[in-house]
């Protein structure tokens, strides 16, 4: 009895001293519920939110999300309300509303759905907020200057040639030259990003079981589970089911690898400090070298460098591999467009096997249209979310403080109200006259506004280079329909079937 009285007294004391905070929280929460109720959305239950309706099968879940968006968009809504357990989220359904969110300076910070990445990426450019983000963005922008990207072209070429060897050798071992190309493309993209970001390579294309390669894949899988299942946001539950142990094990692998490379690079810079070093023309500066120079200027600390390198590795690996894979998948399903790409490339390279230059990339007008249309149908990043930290009005609805707002390129770019015949792969959508007819925020595979993707030119240069090498060497074909390979809205748009493609060496 005495213990009960003691505990009750503690509760009373806590309430008395924190009454104003409690009343403020209750008031804000009641307003949040009120404003969210004004926005259409599927049925949500207390605590469970909308998640009790979520399909467990990934393919069915992807269809469910798309159909919900289509339902409310067809009704004329520009927003739809969802509840991830007790956490509210508003999804944007129109290009006009996209523009208001992406251009808003009040909606600049990433939402709590990204918290799972904090132990890995820290508050690097992807997750930074406020003045830190503005300062980092300004600091990093020169690292993606055109002249820097030119220097990376040698890496894109060398790794692309390894990819061709890997594909050709694997195809020879099958009965009909069909392989799942996705793992090969991902390993190529990983080697490219390691070499350009850190000046090293894990030789992922030839060492398929490298611990870093495996750990990166596991981290992305674990992140998707976290974002989809709000009960994983409670640490004791994560610990109980073994999720936390899996996450920590893979986190240790990816961060320790980065730290080893940084330590080695720092030693190299110390050894050459004050010396005149004549670099070979073929030895280019990696992103990490540029960051170390910023450190030496007093702009960055060790942990700042680590989080920016890991951010670049994360953002520039899976995204580009998805872009390359979906482009090849679309072209394999559309031989008439693949033929046009072959003709364009044959005209540029005249049947030679010479390396691809930046000037060559500029001439690949039709291939670029195909890549853009593949990114329209299957954007590498299917959705992104921002934190609402002050009330914002959009189309007569108020986004309440405390909710998240999600922008979904995967939905916007496949909404028949935005793109008629959206299920048809049509590169002609990217003719200049067609582009001029569309809302500027109807096509946002690299986001838009002040937080647009800083590496989009890097990504397009890499994707066009790798795809051009593949098409110069092979005809690609598949017996599976384009739409049969469902896109799964994970951290990236993952193909439900992989990319089972038949590679036939072209006769020059």
For residue 35, give every residue at least 6 positions away whose Cβ sits within 8 Å of its Cβ, in sequence order, or none: 391, 397, 398, 399, 400
- Provide Rg for the chain, Cα atoms: 25
Question: What is the per-residue burial (b if ≥16 Cβ within 10 Å, else e) of 177-211?
Answer: bbbebbbbbbbbbbbbbbbbbbbbbbebbeeeebe
Q: Nearest to residue 217, comparing CAs of 266, 268, 258, 254?
A: 254
Q: Nearest to residue 458, comparing CAs of 213, 189, 204?
A: 189
Q: At 331, is the secondary structure helix, strand, or coil?
A: helix
Using left for φ > 0, alpha for ψ between -120 and 50, and beta otherwise, residue 76 falls in left
- Asked if residue 334 belongs to a known ligand binding site, the reply is no
Q: Which residue has the tokens 């820290």?
A: 122
The 8 Å CB, 24+ separation contacts for 200-204 are 200/261, 200/264, 200/286, 202/257
Q: Which residue has the tokens 């251009």?
A: 103
Q: Which residue has the tokens 């806590």?
A: 14
Q: Which residue has the tokens 């750990």?
A: 215
- Residue numbers in the known binding site are 453
Task: Give the residue ranges of the annotated binding site for heme.
Answer: 453
């Amino acid at each position: 009895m005495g213990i009960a009285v003691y505990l009750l007294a503690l509760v009373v004391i806590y309430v008395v001293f924190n009454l104003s905070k409690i009343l403020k929280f209750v008031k804000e929460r009641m307003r949040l519920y009120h404003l969210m109720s004004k926005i259409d959305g599927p049925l949500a239950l207390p605590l469970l939110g909308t998640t009790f309706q979520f399909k467990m099968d990934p393919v069915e879940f992807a269809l469910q999300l798309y159909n919900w968006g289509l339902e409310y968009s067809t009704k004329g809504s520009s927003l739809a309300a969802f509840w991830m357990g007790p956490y509210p989220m508003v999804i944007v359904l129109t290009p006009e509303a996209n523009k208001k969110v992406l251009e808003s300076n009040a909606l600049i910070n990433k939402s709590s759905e990204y918290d799972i990445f904090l132990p890995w990426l820290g508050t690097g450019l992807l997750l930074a907020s406020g003045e830190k983000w503005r300062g980092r963005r300004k600091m990093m922008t020169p690292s993606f200057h055109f002249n820097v990207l030119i220097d990376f072209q040698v890496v894109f070429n060398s790794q692309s040639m390894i990819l061709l060897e890997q594909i050709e050798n694997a195809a020879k071992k099958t009965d009909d030259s069909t392989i799942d190309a996705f793992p090969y493309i991902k390993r190529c993209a990983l080697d490219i990003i390691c070499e350009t970001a850190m000046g090293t390579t894990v030789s992922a294309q030839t060492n398929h079981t490298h611990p870093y390669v495996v750990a990166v894949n596991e981290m992305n899988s674990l992140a998707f589970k976290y974002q989809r299942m709000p009960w994983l946001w409670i640490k004791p539950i994560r610990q109980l089911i073994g999720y936390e142990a899996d996450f920590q094990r893979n986190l240790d692998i990816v961060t320790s690898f980065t730290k080893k490379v940084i330590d080695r690079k720092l030693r190299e810079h110390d050894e050459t400090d004050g010396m005149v070093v004549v670099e070979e023309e073929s030895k280019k500066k990696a992103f990490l070298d540029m960051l170390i120079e910023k450190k030496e200027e007093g702009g960055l600390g060790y942990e700042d460098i680590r989080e920016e390198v890991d951010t670049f590795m994360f953002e520039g690996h899976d995204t580009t591999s998805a872009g390359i894979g979906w482009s090849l998948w679309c072209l394999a399903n559309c031989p008439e467009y693949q033929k046009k790409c072959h003709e364009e490339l044959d005209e540029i390279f005249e049947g030679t096997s010479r390396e691809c230059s930046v000037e060559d990339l500029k001439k690949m007008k039709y291939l670029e249209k195909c890549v853009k249309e593949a990114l329209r149908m299957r954007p590498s990043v299917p959705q992104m979310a921002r934190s609402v930290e002050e009330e914002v009005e959009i189309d007569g609805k108020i986004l309440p403080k405390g909710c998240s707002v999600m922008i979904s390129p995967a939905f916007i770019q496949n909404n028949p109200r935005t793109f008629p015949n959206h299920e048809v792969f049509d590169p002609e959508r990217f003719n200049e006259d067609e582009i001029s007819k569309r809302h500027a925020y109807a096509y946002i595979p690299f986001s838009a506004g002040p937080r647009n993707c800083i590496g989009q030119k890097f990504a397009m240069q890499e994707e066009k280079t790798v795809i051009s090498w593949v098409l110069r060497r092979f005809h690609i074909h598949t017996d599976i329909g384009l739409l049969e390979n469902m896109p799964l809205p994970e951290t990236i748009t993952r193909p439900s079937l992989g990319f089972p493609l038949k590679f036939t060496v072209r006769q020059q």
